[in-house]
Amino acid sequence: AQSVAQPEDQVNVAEGNPLTVKCTYSVSGNPYLFWYVQYPNRGLQFLLKYITGDNLVKGSYGFEAEFNKSQTSFHLKKPSALVSDSALYFCAVRDFGDNFNKFYFGSGTKLNVKP
């Protein structure tokens, strides 16, 4: 069965330090992987995606993510965190084996960036 795991409910980091938000997935076929961000009282905003090609993908607001097929991971990273990055982050997967019918979301990770 398809699933996405975000093992950390919350990540705390100081402004200016690098940040990582972890995501692992399980699919029957080839995955399409996504990261979304949610600010309070807002919908989910798309950050970046991995479809194929280079394992390191770059997205909005300086975020990037690395696809690791052997570890079935797609961790979100940023070299230098900003206080304004504080939000709820969701990892999601679409399964090629499922004909890309559905998005499967993780439970979310709250990122707190302290000044």
Partner 1 sequence: DADVTQTPRNRITKTGKRIMLECSQTKGHDRMYWYRQDPGLGLRLIYYSFDVKDINKGEISDGYSVSRQAQAKFSLSLESAIPNQTALYFCATGRGGSEAFFGQGTRLTVV
Interface pattern 43-82 for partner 1 (x via CB under 8 A): xxxx--x-x-------------------------------
Considering only CA atoms, which of 67, 37, 68 is closest in space to residue 50?
67
* Cα 23 to Cα 75: distance, rounded to the nearest angstrom: 5
* Cα 106 to Cα 73: distance, rounded to the nearest angstrom: 12
Stretch in the footprint of partner 1 (CB under 8 A) among 19-27, 61-69, 71-79, 103-111: 103-111
Cα-Cα-Cα-Cα dihedral sign, residues 51, 99, 21, 110: positive
Dihedral (C-alpha) 9, 15, 18, 23: value to the nearest 10 degrees? 20
Residue 19 binds partner 1, judged by CB under 8 A: no
Stretch in the footprint of partner 1 (CB under 8 A) among 11-19, 61-69, 73-81, 89-97: 89-97
Stretch in the footprint of partner 1 (CB under 8 A) among 21-29, 42-50, 69-77, 78-86: 42-50
The residue with tokens 């950050």 is 47
- Interface residues toward partner 1, by CB under 8 A: 4, 6, 9, 32, 34, 36, 41-46, 49, 51, 90, 92, 94, 96, 100-103, 105-108
